[in-house]
Structure 1
Amino acid sequence: MQEQIPSQQDHLATLAYLDKQVKRGQISREVADVESIIGTTADTGHLVLVEFIKLLDGLSKATTLAEMRAAASQGRDSLGTLTTKVLNNEIQFPYQGKGAENVYQEIESRATGVASILTSPE
């Protein structure tokens, strides 16, 4: 049997895959398991959705600039501590470490991939 030598591209892809698996293992051991991270992500989405709904409700009822500012202030006050910590670099979201452009590419690729499967006639 002849030994197969991987191409440089295949070798780099394998190294990238292994690096990703190591990081996932570290996250699972040092931060939280996958299910807990999904739960935190869901909580975040729900929190943002509720705050956005409250903002829209307040803005839709506002008749003056002061009322619009008051509606916006409610959301700012609710999320203020988190915002301050982000601005002071006390906390960092994963997308900040990955880089926004990489995250946008992942969103586009995964969203399109899932949509293709969901809309496939088979």
Structure 2
Amino acid sequence: MSTQTAELGSLEQQQTVQEAQQRNQLRNQINYYIADNGTLVGTATDIAHILLNELSGFVNKLSAAQDIDDVKASVTSLKATIGDIEGKVATGELTFPYQSKGLDTVKQEIIDRANGVNDLL
């Protein structure tokens, strides 16, 4: 190994640093061109509130359902609110970052982050 390479660390360390730099560059582009962190948090919060409200209504209606017609009626509001999303994804009009990152990658990130936070708690 050359002296210059030894000073920079192992190839794995160099790759880790390069990946972190690329991730930070991408995050900066998102922040500059798409939305700042506050806007992203606001959008995520809006989504969570919509889903919480709609899911609550769905669960309450579904739990009171007496027959299949009641079951079908329980999804009316939920379908009206978010039912078009699936079609937009199917046509390519809407794409989510998790689709580009890969579902397995995103799920592992979720697991790692949840476990990390839980370990600190």
TM-score over 0.5 for the pair: yes
Deviation beyond 4 Å, 4+ runs, structure 1: none
Selected match of 2:81 from 78, 81, 84:
78
Secondary structure of the structure 1 residue equivalent to 2:8 = coil
Is 2:69 the counterpart of 1:51? no
Is 2:41 the counterpart of 1:38? yes
Selected match of 2:65 from 52, 62, 65:
62
- Which is worse superposed, 84-93 or 5-14? 84-93
Secondary structure of the structure 2 residue equivalent to 1:90 = coil
- Whole-Å separation in 1 of the counterparts to 2:113 and 2:106: 10
The CA RMSD measured in Å over matched residues stands at 1.4
- Please give the TM-score of this superposition, normalised by the length of structure 2: 0.90
- Please give the TM-score of this superposition, normalised by the length of structure 1: 0.89
Aligned-pair identity in percent equals 30
Deviation at 1:68, TM superposition (A): 0.2
List aligned pairs for 1:99-114, cutoff 5 A.
Answer: 99-114=102-117
Secondary structure of the structure 2 residue equivalent to 1:106 = helix
> Aligned pairs, how many?
117
Secondary structure of the structure 1 residue equivalent to 2:75 = helix
Unaligned runs of 5+ in 1: none
